[in-house]
Amino acid sequence: MAGLRHLINRLSALPGPGSPREYRELLGPTIESILREADDRAGALVERQLATSTYRPTPAELRATWQSMVVEDGEARGANIRDRSRRCPYCEGRGQLHAVVWSRRKGSDRVRTYSVTCSCPRGQQLHGAEGLQRMSREQFEVTCSRQEARSEFHDGVIAWHVDDATSSPVPEWGRWAPALTPPEGGDGSFMARR
């Protein structure tokens, strides 16, 4: 609390209408709530405001300064995520991988493609994005393993493949059911329909 009072006193020391005391009494509680929102960045917020203002800031001006600081931090964080993800050996910075599932349901075979998120920072950002329902690669592999068909006569996942830079682009269909014939001759020709 004493730290916030000191910061409010610094802002009230700027020139403006009324006395510094009136500024603290009238706008102090609102300014204090903005500084509490800034938490450990409150000092940096006041320094930025003092550097850009020649008069006492209104709460709206202080909030606008805080919001611009948040946006700048977000842009810097996004650039950092992009830079680290570009070095990902699996997705090459896209954050998502192409996955293929060969499954059987009620006697008919299906091949479906999915987009799964990588474990790199960009993939984690995509996985946590609101409104998007994406599985991580780990979740995808666990789900496929749980739904594995126990024999050629059972429904479930026969095989799956995640297309990353470490494996061949053609699925290794023999992973679980080597006796079964892969769909469309097993030559990977279905991959062209992505």
Tens digits of residue pLDDT in 35-68: 888 888 899 999 999 999 889 999 999 999 988 8
Strand order in the sheet with 156-163: 135-136, 108-117, 96-105, 156-163
Tell whether 118 and 155 lie within a shared domain. Answer: yes
Percent of the chain clearing pLDDT 70 (strictly above):
75
Structure confidence at residue 169 (pLDDT):
55
Whether 23 has a pLDDT exceeding 60, the answer reads yes
Tell whether 18 and 82 lie within a shared domain. Answer: yes
Residue-wise pLDDT for 72-83, tens only, equals: 887 777 777 667
8 Å CB contact between 67 and 50: no
Whether residue 40 is contained in a domain is answered as yes
- Of 10, 59, 51, 52, nearest in space to 33 by CA: 59
User: What is the mean pLDDT of the segment spanning 114-127?
Assistant: 79
Structure confidence at residue 131 (pLDDT):
60
Tell whether 135 and 58 lie within a shared domain. Answer: no
Tell whether 81 and 101 lie within a shared domain. Answer: no
Answer with the one of 68, 86, 104 that is the final residue of a domain.
86
Whether residue 91 is contained in a domain is answered as no
Q: What residue numbers bound the domain in which 162 lies? A: 96-193
Helix (H, G, I), strand (E, B) or coil at 29: helix
Domains in the chain, number: 2
Percent of the chain clearing pLDDT 90 (strictly above):
14
Question: Tokens standing for 28?
Answer: 């102090």
Answer with the one of 86, 113, 146 that is the final residue of a domain.
86
Write down the pTM of the prediction: 0.44
Tell whether 82 and 155 lie within a shared domain. Answer: no
Q: What are phi and psi of 49, to 5 degrees?
A: -65, -40
Tell whether 122 and 62 lie within a shared domain. Answer: no
Which residue spans within 69-174 are E strands per DSSP? 96-105, 108-117, 135-136, 156-163
User: What is the mean pLDDT of the segment spanning 118-122?
Assistant: 79
- Looking up tokens 């079964």 gives 180
Q: What are phi and psi of 37, to 5 degrees?
A: -65, -35
Structure confidence at residue 193 (pLDDT):
29
Tell whether 158 and 76 lie within a shared domain. Answer: no
Of residues 107 and 180, more confidence is placed in: 107
Tell whether 102 and 82 lie within a shared domain. Answer: no
